[in-house]
């Protein structure tokens, strides 16, 4: 993330309550509000920047945003997305949070459908990816 930077940062707040709209029969019930912010490209420490942003916008008088969704490009130039709690952005927990999705193809034979065992060829291909 430090080398490629962030492509998008979205703060997320979960709303409760209702909004009365003039000239409308009924109320509007908000569920989620988001605010997209432009990431700082010059930052050498992306995690520190995210911690500062999360800490600031987690406060009630600054929007009370509970989550932050981050899009970035990995070392293979693939877009990745991770959602973090604004009050607990830790480098140690980030590694467990990131999800890497890859298409696995090129199998030598048709794979059997099973919940009890994993085909050996699948495990070999997973090891190649990881």
Residue corresponding to tokens 């909004």 = 19
Cα–Cα dist 14/21, whole Å: 20
DSSP 8-state secondary structure symbol assigned to residue 22: T
**Which pLDDT belongs to residue 102?**
73
pTM, two decimal places: 0.63
Q: pLDDT (tens digit, 9 = 90+) per residue, 99-130? A: 566 778 888 888 777 677 777 888 888 888 76
For the segment 63-82, the average pLDDT, to the nearest whole number, is 84
- Which sequence spans correspond to the domains of the chain? 6-100
Backbone angles phi, psi at 100, to 5 degrees: -110, 120
pLDDT in tens, 16-36: 888 888 888 888 888 889 999
Q: CA torsion, points 57, 60, 63, 69, in degrees to nearest 10?
A: 50
């Amino acid at each position: 993330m430090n080398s490629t930077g962030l492509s998008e940062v979205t703060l997320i707040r979960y709303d409760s309550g209702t909004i009365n709209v003039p000239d409308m029969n009924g109320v509007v019930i908000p569920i989620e509000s988001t605010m997209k912010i432009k990431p700082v490209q010059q930052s050498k420490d992306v995690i520190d920047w995210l911690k500062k942003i999360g800490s600031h916008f987690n406060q009630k008088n600054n929007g009370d945003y509970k989550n932050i969704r981050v899009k970035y490009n990995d070392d293979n130039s693939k877009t990745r997305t991770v959602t973090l709690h604004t009050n607990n952005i830790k480098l140690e927990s980030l590694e467990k949070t990131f999800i890497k999705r890859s298409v696995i193809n090129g199998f030598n034979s048709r794979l059997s459908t099973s919940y009890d065992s994993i085909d050996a060829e699948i495990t070999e291909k997973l090891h190649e990816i990881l």
